[in-house]
């Protein structure tokens, strides 16, 4: 009998109560990827290339991985897509990318996994949507065949319910029952109840078919923020499966970022969510990796993961030398993002780096001293000199046209010195106890499915 853990070993997350079952997904860039059971919240992403296009899909998985995705999902819609999976995996391995791949199946997953056994073996996890499996008795047959294949290949399965493709029979029955109540619930509430019932019912069915409890992940994605929060709170209180949290159809640009962050921040702060995906609609020409950047930033902002360096910059105001300040902040951010993949590979711990770019003397020197490395630009009417601080000490003052370039050179040499060699090793030893829980521990406890 599983029990709820009264707390967590992470002092920063002492408010979290839920500890889910731990599921091992596969080997990642920096070791084994697990979801739940106190593991760090895992960042997922999904490709939008034609999966059968091995070169394009491989390149996009690499880009997503470089951006911080730890698990990448591929749409497997037909046999060419299924048969491409082992080649994508092989191409990734040849390039040094070890990213667990998840197969996203709808309608025909039971057939494709049977027809393409190398795909079934290569994938680290399967996703099935219980609303898109088939109708009537075929639904049960297809679901059973899918789960049987997952059992045979010893793969975890995400039972991924989606508000836009709920099991219609369940929904019609629930709507009918609700209509007969003296005080019927709203349609949105019924939709959420059906989503939860579909997910938990399908998970119970999968276990009855032989899929072990510790190979099931659940998601119930809705498109409205309040519905997402409501559904996941219900799931968290009723089961201990790891929860894959996200909005579906979050939208484009700022709307998608704000909606996803609003919902996920509430849930993650409550200890709900063992893996996240930000489902952004990319603007034409925008990189697919934006969704990963948002996910990483969100986890970092909540203090759950240290995934990338933090650029601290003020908003600027009437005291700012606007053009120089904005250009410099943008260039520093670009510089760091461009080097991040290589820094991660060469300088373990670089995610802890804090760089300050400040707009004037009011808060500039103070914030710059508190960062690892910072620069305080001259505001309007100030002497045109920009003091640079490293680990709290004023090390130099920059002037003139090459100011930005000179600061970036200082930044690169600081990163190389700080995050490699003896200093890094000593620092790791000194800070492991404080740091590891933030990145190794999150969330909560175990549970059976509670009624």
Which residues contact ligand SF4 (rule: CB under 6 A)?
314-317, 319-320, 358-360, 362-364, 379
Q: Is 78 exposed, middle or buried (0-12, 13-18, 19+ CB in 10 A)?
A: middle
Closer CB to ligand SF4, 273 or 359, in the complex: 359
Closer CB to ligand SF4, 317 or 426, in the complex: 317
CB of 53 to ligand SF4, least distance (A): 47
Of 395, 375, 400, nearest to 386 by C-alpha is 375
* Sign of the dihedral through C-alpha 17, 294, 40, 347: negative
Length of the chain: 451
Closer CB to ligand SF4, 136 or 381, in the complex: 381
Closer CB to ligand SF4, 364 or 445, in the complex: 364
Cα 320 to Cα 16, 161, 232, 379, 433, distances in angstroms: 41, 49, 44, 5, 40
Of 227, 242, 232, nearest to 156 by C-alpha is 242
Question: Which residue in the shown chain puts its C-beta closest to ligand SF4?
Answer: 359
CB of 384 to ligand SF4, least distance (A): 15
Rounded to 5 degrees, φ, ψ at 386 are -120, 100
8 A C-beta contact, residue 280 and residue 286: no
CB of 197 to ligand SF4, least distance (A): 51
DSSP 364-417: HHHHHHHSSEEEE---TTS-S-EEEEETTEEEEEE-STTHHHHHHHHHHHHHHH
Say how far apart CA 86 and CA 122 lie, in whole Å: 6
CB of 396 to ligand SF4, least distance (A): 20
Say how far apart CA 62 and CA 287 lie, in whole Å: 13
Closer CB to ligand SF4, 28 or 364, in the complex: 364
Closer CB to ligand SF4, 175 or 362, in the complex: 362
CB of 293 to ligand SF4, least distance (A): 24
Closer CB to ligand SF4, 357 or 390, in the complex: 357
CB of 315 to ligand SF4, least distance (A): 5
CB of 314 to ligand SF4, least distance (A): 3
Of 35, 97, 48, nearest to 282 by C-alpha is 48
Pairing of strands 386-390, 373-376: antiparallel
Closer CB to ligand SF4, 208 or 385, in the complex: 385
Q: Show the tokens assigned to 371.
A: 């960062």
CB of 363 to ligand SF4, least distance (A): 4
CB of 280 to ligand SF4, least distance (A): 29
Of 133, 122, 186, nearest to 159 by C-alpha is 133
Closer CB to ligand SF4, 134 or 322, in the complex: 322
């Amino acid at each position: 009998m599983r029990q709820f853990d009264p707390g967590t070993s992470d002092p920063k997350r002492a408010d979290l109560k839920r500890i889910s079952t731990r599921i091992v997904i596969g080997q990642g860039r920096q070791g084994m990827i697990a979801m739940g059971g106190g593991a760090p919240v895992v960042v997922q992403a999904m490709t939008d290339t034609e999966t059968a296009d091995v070169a394009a899909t491989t390149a996009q998985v690499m880009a997503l991985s470089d951006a911080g995705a730890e698990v990448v999902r591929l749409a497997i819609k037909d046999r060419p897509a299924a048969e491409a999976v082992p080649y994508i995996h092989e191409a990734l391995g040849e390039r040094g990318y070890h990213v667990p791949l998840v197969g996203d199946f709808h309608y025909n997953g039971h057939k494709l996994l049977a027809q393409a056994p190398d795909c079934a073996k290569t994938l680290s996890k399967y996703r099935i949507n219980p609303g898109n499996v088939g109708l009537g008795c075929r639904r049960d047959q297809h679901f059973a065949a899918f789960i049987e294949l997952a059992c045979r290949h010893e793969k975890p399965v995400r039972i991924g319910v989606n508000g836009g493709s709920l099991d219609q029979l369940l929904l019609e029955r629930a709507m009918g029952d609700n209509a007969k109540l003296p005080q019927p619930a709203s349609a949105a509430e019924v939709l959420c109840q059906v989503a939860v019932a579909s997910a938990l019912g399908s998970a119970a069915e999968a276990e009855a078919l032989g899929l072990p409890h510790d190979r099931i992940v659940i998601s119930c994605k809705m498109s409205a923020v309040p519905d997402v929060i409501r559904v996941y709170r219900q799931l968290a209180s009723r089961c201990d499966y790891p929860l894959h949290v996200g909005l579906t159809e979050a939208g484009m640009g700022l709307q998608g970022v704000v909606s996803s962050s609003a919902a996920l921040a509430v849930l993650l702060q409550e200890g709900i969510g063992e893996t996240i995906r930000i489902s952004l609609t990319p603007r034409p020409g925008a990189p697919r990796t934006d969704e990963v950047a948002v996910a990483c930033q969100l986890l970092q902002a909540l203090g759950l993961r240290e995934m990338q360096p933090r650029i601290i910059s003020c908003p600027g105001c009437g005291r700012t030398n606007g053009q120089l300040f904005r250009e410099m902040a943008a260039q520093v951010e670009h510089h760091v993002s461009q080097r991040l993949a290589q820094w991660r590979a060469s300088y373990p711990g670089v995610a802890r780096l804090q760089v300050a770019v400040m707009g004037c003397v009011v808060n500039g020197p103070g914030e710059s001293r508190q960062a690892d490395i910072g620069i305080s630009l001259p505001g309007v009417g100030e002497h045109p000199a920009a003091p640079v601080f490293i680990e709290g000490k004023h090390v130099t003052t920059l002037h003139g046209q090459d100011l930005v370039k000179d600061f970036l050179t200082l930044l690169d040499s600081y990163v190389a010195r700080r995050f490699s060699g003896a200093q890094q090793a000593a620092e790791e030893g000194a800070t492991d106890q404080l740091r590891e829980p933030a990145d190794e521990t999150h969330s909560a406890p175990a549970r059976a499915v509670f009624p």
